[in-house]
């Protein structure tokens, strides 16, 4: 059962990033940030951006100086994407407890 839940979460993560890439190429990154991240997985990701920014500030990535922002922008983006991936995986995995809670037909998978 755990294997089925992890596979579901990995598929959900892949679908999320596929949609992210396709829709951001078509509509732009602003549409993705606002529409997809804040409305599709609302309310769990409402404060994710602020939490990641808080972590980055405590890691030493300042947003005060333009040179710091330009120099660390790629690191900032990578860290944001890592946190979004962890978030989507966690939400998808927790969602499986509701989706597969009545799935008693796959007891053979648990024994193997």
37-76 confidence digits (pLDDT tens) = 555 555 556 567 777 778 777 777 766 655 555 556 777 7
How would you class 101 by CB atoms within 10 Å of its CB: exposed for 0-12, middle for 13-18, buried for 19 or more? exposed
Residue 69 belongs to some domain of the structure: yes
Question: Where in the sequence is the domain holding 80, given as residue range(s)?
Answer: 2-102
Q: pLDDT at residue 10 above 50?
A: yes
CA 91 to chain centre: 8
Closest to 45 measured CA to CA, from 16, 19, 21, 69: 16
In the chain, the number of structural domains is 1
Residue 59 belongs to some domain of the structure: yes
Residue 112 belongs to some domain of the structure: no
Is residue 17 within 8 Å of residue 84, measured between CB atoms? no
Residue 107 belongs to some domain of the structure: no
Average pLDDT, integer, range 14-30: 73
CA 76 to CA 61: how far, in whole Å?
8
pTM of the model: 0.55
Residue 83 belongs to some domain of the structure: yes
């Amino acid at each position: 059962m755990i294997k089925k839940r992890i596979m579901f979460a990995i598929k959900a993560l892949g679908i999320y990033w596929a949609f992210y890439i396709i829709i951001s190429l078509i509509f732009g990154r602003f549409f993705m940030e606002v529409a997809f991240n804040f409305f599709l997985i609302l309310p769990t990701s409402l404060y994710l951006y602020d939490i990641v920014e808080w972590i980055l500030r405590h890691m030493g990535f300042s947003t005060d100086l333009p040179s710091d922002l330009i120099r660390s922008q790629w690191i900032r983006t990578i860290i944001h994407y890592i946190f979004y991936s962890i978030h989507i995986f966690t939400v998808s995995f927790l969602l499986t407890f509701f989706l597969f809670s009545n799935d008693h037909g796959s007891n053979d998978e648990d024994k193997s």
